[in-house]
């Protein structure tokens, strides 16, 4: 049985143009149903199952089993807490439940650092599903979510267009979208946007990123490694080319996920908004991987600030906000993985957010007459862009290979 499963063809989400042909044909009946005011839930469930199946079959069959077990685990945990919250609201129970929801991703992220290999619990997309599940528990504690049907929660967790790499939706927003079928006029506008997003996504992922990922990045990495372990101007080239690869690949994928969601009648939130045009690092995080950034902002940064303010831990609110930035971004670094470069990446962005706030306070006090002009905006944008590119060089792990494992690139 497992041999048969392992020999099946595997289709990664949005990996090839052929994938889109199959997908668009499969969801065409869904679009027709929504156009005529009816959501074909049973057919959507069937299509989602088939495409998720082919994402995790073949050599990824162990991930498929992990995914099934994981969704059952999270569903039981969330349903239990929803039932508990209707009668009680003990803080310790809430924290324990949230920890249990986060436990699988903690195990997955720490296992490579502790034992030297990936955890069997891991599967593609576990981080994004964990954010959905933990966020639902937090919203239930807050009273924003009062009642959840187990099947609706599974449908939310396993929403096919976004299951592997987001964007990260929230149960309250998703269920509100799903409860009602958009009007014909609104759905036609959604389809118009979907076509545009698909077109831009194709340009990003299959044309522009082809040059960044397939043509330029291997070349500049090879040139940089020829000088290993010393730094060279080729390392600078790696930083800029990798930043382009990361953006166009991920932004293209996110546009595909949003477009398919729109065709299925769900307005999944956008993930990118011209991040490299940001004038400061705070604006960057309001434009880059927005659903992740906002999740950390709402559920870590804001809650820490609220709790610390309520308990009077700090007299100086600037110290409080700076510490909250550092905690928020370092946790984000650990979320990417337990390696020095991910953690340093988070630390640098936390420090940059603190520095940005300090500069704004200093400017208001000492440069009250300093006006915002095209020149000052350009300088601010230039500094922000180059800081982000430098941080991506650390994030990608190339320096780890350059300095500590140069044979890995040969």
Q: Which residues form the catalytic set? A: 336
The Cα–Cα gap between 330 and 19 comes to 37
Q: What angle do CA 160, 203, 26 make, to 5 degrees?
A: 30
Question: Which 3 state secondary structure label does DSSP give 265?
Answer: coil
Neighbours of 79 (CB within 10 A): 14
CA atoms within 13 A on the CB side of 301: 18
Written as six digits, the tokens of 204 are: 């990003």
The region, left, alpha or beta by phi > 0 then psi within -120 to 50, assigned to residue 39 is beta
Judged on CB neighbours under 10 Å (0-12, 13-18, 19+), 97 is: buried
The Cα–Cα gap between 80 and 330 comes to 31
17 close to 198: Cβ distance less than 8 angstroms? no
Supply the Cα-derived Rg of the chain in whole angstroms: 23
Give alpha helix (H) positions in 143-232.
150-157, 171-179, 184-202, 209, 217-225
In 3D space, the residue among 346, 349, 352, 350 whose CA is nearest the CA of residue 333 turns out to be 346
| Segment holding 335, helix H or strand E | helix 317-336
First-residue to last-residue Cα distance in the chain: 38
* Distances, alpha carbon 38 to alpha carbons 45, 70, 182, 287, in Å: 15, 31, 9, 34
């Amino acid at each position: 049985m497992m041999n048969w499963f392992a020999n099946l063809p595997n289709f990664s989400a949005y990996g090839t143009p052929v994938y889109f042909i199959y997908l668009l044909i499969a969801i065409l009946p869904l679009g027709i149903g929504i156009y005529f005011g009816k959501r074909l839930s049973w057919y959507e469930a069937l299509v989602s199952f088939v495409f998720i199946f082919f994402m995790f079959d073949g050599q990824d069959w162990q991930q498929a089993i992990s995914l099934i077990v994981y969704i059952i685990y999270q569903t039981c945990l969330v349903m239990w807490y929803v039932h508990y919250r209707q009668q009680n609201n003990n803080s310790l129970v809430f924290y324990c439940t949230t920890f249990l929801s986060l436990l699988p991703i903690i195990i997955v992220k720490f296992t490579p650092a502790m034992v030297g290999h990936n955890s069997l619990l891991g599967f593609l997309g576990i981080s994004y599903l964990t954010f959905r599940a933990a966020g639902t528990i937090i919203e239930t504690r807050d009273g924003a979510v009062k009642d959840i049907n187990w099947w609706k929660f599974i449908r939310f967790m396993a929403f096919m267009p976004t299951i592997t790499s987001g964007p990260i939706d929230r149960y309250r927003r998703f269920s509100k979208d799903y409860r009602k079928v958009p009007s014909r006029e609104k759905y036609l506008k959604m389809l118009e946007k979907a076509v545009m997003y698909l077109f831009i996504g194709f340009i990003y992922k299959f044309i522009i990123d082809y040059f960044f990922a397939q043509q330029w990045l291997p070349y500049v990495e090879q040139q940089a490694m020829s000088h290993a372990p010393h730094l060279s101007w080729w390392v600078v080239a790696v930083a800029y080319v990798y930043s382009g690869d990361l953006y166009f690949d991920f932004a293209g994928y996110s546009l595909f996920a949003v477009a398919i969601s729109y065709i299925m009648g769900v307005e999944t939130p956008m993930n990118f908004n011209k991040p490299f045009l940001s004038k400061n690092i705070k604006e960057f995080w309001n434009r880059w991987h927005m659903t992740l950034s906002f999740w950390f902002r709402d559920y870590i940064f804001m809650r820490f600030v609220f709790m610390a303010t309520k308990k009077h831990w700090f007299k100086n609110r600037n110290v409080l906000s700076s510490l909250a930035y550092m905690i928020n971004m370092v946790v984000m670094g650990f979320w990417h993985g337990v390696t020095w470069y991910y953690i340093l990446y988070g630390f640098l962005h936390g420090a940059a957010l603190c520095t940005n706030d300090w500069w704004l306070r200093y400017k208001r006090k000492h440069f009250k007459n300093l006006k915002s002009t095209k020149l000052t905006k350009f300088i601010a944008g230039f500094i922000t862009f180059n800081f982000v590119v430098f941080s991506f060089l650390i994030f990608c792990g190339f320096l780890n290979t350059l300095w500590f494992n140069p044979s890995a690139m040969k």
